[in-house]
């Protein structure tokens, strides 16, 4: 197991350096991309660093220092340049949110590894297996919004994109040999086009864990407590969970204390949190007693029985097909595609072909089996 010496990355934090990088990228046929965000350290997370590697160079783009990254848009949207990600859904959704980028010609090495039946899909494990390279993941939860970034953190970030092209080169021949390359390319294209831009953080009491089963009165208090936590978090530029946990809010809402001393008895609140926020929490409880308000649960439409039956049949079919081929069921038929198919009563093969338009290789392999399975259920 080795960690080869590699050249230092180019730190891109000025428009001139960005222009030089883009000029280099315009001449390549493939590049690797990764990102670092500050989701664990800010109220509204954002992309703080973009790692881009070619075969010749590694670039670390300081997205906090550069006001305009639009020059990267044409590179990411260029179908002649393949963009290699590993588990790229998070990178894509963040880049789309912050910069409205579009991506063409994507190859995801995690999807590739999954299509090869790899049990371990993490980047570190794959690099050790295929390239005999060890990378350290200790800065995975670091605050990438701090400046200047430590030298060891910059090296860590560089490693996440530096080896991706070499990893792709190892996986691609095996995919071709097993006739699974087209499936990976199709799934990567769907990942690039269908991954939505991540929504900005918004106050939503229904995302509080532990809310199920709460009584209406407790729900109305929870909503007001959650609003307080959101306000505190926004003012301090912290994620709400760093103000206090979901379980703390639920405990306060269920116990509805009359005195601040009761907060010390709640297992999910620390003594420090009671000191910092106890008075504000009690003011919220007191205002709630004067004006409780009402909270209406969002209504969920029950799935159609026919849809449930098709989902069950197709889910079992993909599970068994995966076991026979030694592949995860999601490689046989991705969950998103399964759901899309089960929403429609199949009249003929053309209907199914239209539903599987984004994955023609799967239609070629499995279309007839899927159609026969669901047609029998419908008759």
Residues 6 or more apart whose CB falls under 8 angstroms from that of 71 comprise 18, 19, 22
Q: What is d(CA 188, CA 107) in angstroms, rounded to the nearest whole number? A: 5
Give me the CATH code for the 10-194 domain, please.
3.30.420.10
* CA torsion angle 59 61 62 68 (round to 10): 150
Q: What is d(CA 107, CA 358) in angstroms, rounded to the nearest whole number? A: 15
* Percent of the chain whose pLDDT exceeds 70: 98
Could you tell me where in the chain the CATH 3.30.420.10 domains are found?
10-194
295-314: per-residue pLDDT in tens?
888 887 777 899 999 999 99
Count other Cβ atoms within 10 Å, centred on residue 118. Answer: 17
Q: What is d(CA 19, CA 54) in angstroms, rounded to the nearest whole number? A: 16
67-107: per-residue pLDDT in tens?
999 999 999 999 999 999 999 999 999 999 999 999 999 99
CATH of 205-290, one of 1.20.1740.10, 3.40.50.2300, 1.10.150.80, 1.20.1560.10: 1.10.150.80
What's the token pair of residue 307?
């849809």
Beta bridge partners of residue 366, listed in sequence order: none
Give me the CATH code for the 305-378 domain, please.
1.10.150.80
Residues 6 or more apart whose CB falls under 8 angstroms from that of 291 comprise none
Give me the sheet containing 47-53, strands edge to edge.
Answer: 10-12, 58-62, 47-53, 30-37, 82-85, 106-108
106-148: per-residue pLDDT in tens?
999 999 999 999 999 999 999 999 999 999 888 988 999 999 9
Q: What is d(CA 89, CA 86) in angstroms, rounded to the nearest whole number? A: 9
* CA torsion angle 220 223 224 230 (round to 10): 180
Count other Cβ atoms within 10 Å, centred on residue 130. Answer: 18
pTM of the predicted structure, to 2 decimals: 0.93
Q: What is d(CA 218, CA 4) in angstroms, rounded to the nearest whole number? A: 58
Q: What is d(CA 51, CA 35) in angstroms, rounded to the nearest whole number? A: 6
Could you tell me where in the chain the CATH 1.10.150.80 domains are found?
205-290, 305-378
Mean of the per-residue pLDDT values of the chain: 95
* CA torsion angle 263 264 269 270 (round to 10): 150
């Amino acid at each position: 197991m080795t960690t080869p010496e590699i050249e230092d990355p180019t730190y891109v934090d000025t428009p001139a350096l960005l222009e030089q990088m883009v000029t280099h990228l315009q001449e390549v046929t493939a590049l690797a991309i990764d990102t670092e965000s500050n989701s664990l350290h800010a109220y509204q997370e954002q992309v703080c660093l973009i790692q881009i590697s070619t075969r010749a160079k590694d670039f670390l783009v300081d997205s906090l220092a550069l006001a305009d990254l639009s020059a990267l848009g044409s590179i990411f949207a260029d179908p002649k340049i393949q963009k290699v990600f590993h588990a790229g859904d998070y990178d894509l959704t963040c880049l789309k949110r912050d910069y409205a980028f579009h991506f063409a010609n994507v190859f995801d090495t995690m999807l590739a590894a999954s299509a090869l039946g790899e049990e371990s899909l993490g980047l570190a494990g794959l690099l050790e297996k295929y390239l005999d390279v060890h990378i350290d993941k200790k800065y995975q939860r670091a605050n990438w919004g701090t400046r200047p970034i430590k030298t060891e953190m910059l090296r860590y970030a560089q490693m996440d994109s530096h080896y991706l092209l070499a990893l792709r080169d190892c996986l691609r021949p095996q995919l071709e040999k097993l006739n699974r390359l087209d499936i990976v390319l199709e799934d990567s294209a769907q990942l690039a086009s269908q991954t939505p831009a991540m929504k900005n953080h918004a106050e939503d009491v229904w995302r509080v864990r532990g809310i199920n089963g709460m009584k209406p009165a407790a729900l109305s208090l929870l909503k007001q407590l959650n609003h307080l936590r959101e306000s505190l978090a926004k003012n301090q530029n912290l994620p709400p969970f760093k103000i206090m946990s979901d379980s703390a809010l639920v405990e306060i809402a269920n116990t509805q204390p009359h005195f601040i001393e009761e907060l010390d008895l709640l297992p999910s609140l620390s003594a420090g949190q009671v000191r910092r926020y106890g008075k504000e929490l009690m003011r919220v409880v007191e205002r709630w007693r004067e004006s409780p308000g009402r909270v209406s649960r969002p209504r969920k439409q029950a799935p159609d029985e026919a849809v449930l039956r098709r989902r069950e049949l197709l889910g079992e079919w993909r599970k068994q097909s995966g076991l026979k081929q030694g592949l995860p069921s999601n490689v046989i038929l991705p969950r998103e595609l399964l759901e899309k198919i089960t929403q429609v009563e199949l009249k003929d093969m053309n209907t199914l072909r239209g539903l599987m338009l984004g994955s023609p290789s799967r239609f070629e392999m499995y279309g007839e089996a899927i159609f026969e399975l669901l047609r029998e259920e419908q008759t």
